[in-house]
Amino acid sequence: MAYRSLVVILAIVFNVCSFAEAQEWKSGVDWQEPPLVSPGTTNDQAPSDAIVLFNGTDLSAFENGDKWLVEDGAAIPKGGEIRTKQHFGSMQLHVEWSAPTEVKGSGQGRGNSGIFLMGLYEVQVLDSFENETYFDGQAGSIYKQTAPLANAMRKPGEWNTYDIVFNAPVFKVNGDVETPGYVTLIHNGVLLLNHFELLGPTSYVDAPHYVPHAETGPIALQFHGDPVKFRNIWLRELKPAVGHRTSAGFHIGKKAEPKPKADKQVKQDAEKAKEKAKADEDSPKVEAEKKKADVKAVGE
């Protein structure tokens, strides 16, 4: 055991020495310390810096929220869409939803709702468990812009999680798009949208095209007539990491010199070279060349 420990210690010392010899790259950026965020006990719980929109009690964070039914900790669509009173731009959004236990209708008529980012860009909510519809209209699609990368739907009545990362579009002063919007979506732990570039607001009738809008907007939950359930809705506003460049990137430390080979290695290399030369000489091609040369010599 003591011998094993000694070997481990020597290996660590050797590694540290190796790093010390190599040059280290430094970015030249002075980064601010990232803010401390206390996560929930499980990943579905709101972290300490989250804005909680619905925790199962009421929909007071939403305009028109009093029209929906809140029952057993879940919000159920009724009487029109609801929109957050507060407006948001780029965000990490967590939503849990369940398709109605009682299966009614088919295609777009079965368990339909939606999450509209900035009130404009719909991440589709639909009962896509053994339910055929157009692919850019199934659960996890950006409605009529892209199909999701997979169908990770749980059975009707079971809870699904959507974890969305949304980068809001940025417009120039003249209204042109400077940076389009992007959506990443993880459904029940499965990646459905991988930084998808939005083509504009989602529409049932119009081809998508951007129309300039404010830097923030509401999150809207769609009323489509189906008793889809929602619960545990929270978000984190995204802020970029902050740093300022103090210099161009640079290396520090001494450049590692190639180590001279040990005598044993030099001898081994020489042996190998010798063996290779002999093998080449014995090869049929070399033999043939030799014979040809001999014949030629004789002929002369």
User: What residue ranges bind Mg ion (CB under 5 A)?
Assistant: 112, 114, 222
Closest approach, Cβ 123 to Mg ion, in A, equals: 9
Q: Which is nearer to Mg ion, 114 or 169 (CB)?
A: 114
Q: Which is nearer to Mg ion, 77 or 181 (CB)?
A: 77
Q: Which is nearer to Mg ion, 90 or 112 (CB)?
A: 112
Closest approach, Cβ 36 to Mg ion, in A, equals: 37
Determine the Cα–Cα distance for residues 300 and 296; give it in Å rounded to an integer: 6
Q: Which is nearer to Mg ion, 136 or 237 (CB)?
A: 136
Q: Which is nearer to Mg ion, 112 or 167 (CB)?
A: 112
Do 192 and 148 meet the contact criterion of CB atoms below 8 Å apart?
A: yes
Q: Which is nearer to Mg ion, 167 or 222 (CB)?
A: 222
Closest approach, Cβ 203 to Mg ion, in A, equals: 12
Residue whose beta carbon is closest to Mg ion: 114
The CA radius of gyration of the chain, in Å to the nearest whole number, is 32
Closest approach, Cβ 155 to Mg ion, in A, equals: 19
Closest approach, Cβ 223 to Mg ion, in A, equals: 10
Closest approach, Cβ 119 to Mg ion, in A, equals: 14
Q: Which is nearer to Mg ion, 50 or 62 (CB)?
A: 62
Amino acid symbol at 24: E
Contacts of 15 (CB under 8 A, 6+ apart): none
Diameter of the chain by CA atoms?
Answer: 111
Closest approach, Cβ 116 to Mg ion, in A, equals: 9
Write out the H or E segment, with its range, that includes residue 229: strand 229-237
32 phi, psi to nearest 5 deg: -75, 150
Contacts of 215 (CB under 8 A, 6+ apart): 89, 168, 170
Instruction: For residue 77, give both structure tokens.
Output: 């669509």
Do 164 and 183 meet the contact criterion of CB atoms below 8 Å apart?
A: yes
Number of C-beta neighbours around residue 300 at 10 A: 5
Number of C-beta neighbours around residue 136 at 10 A: 15
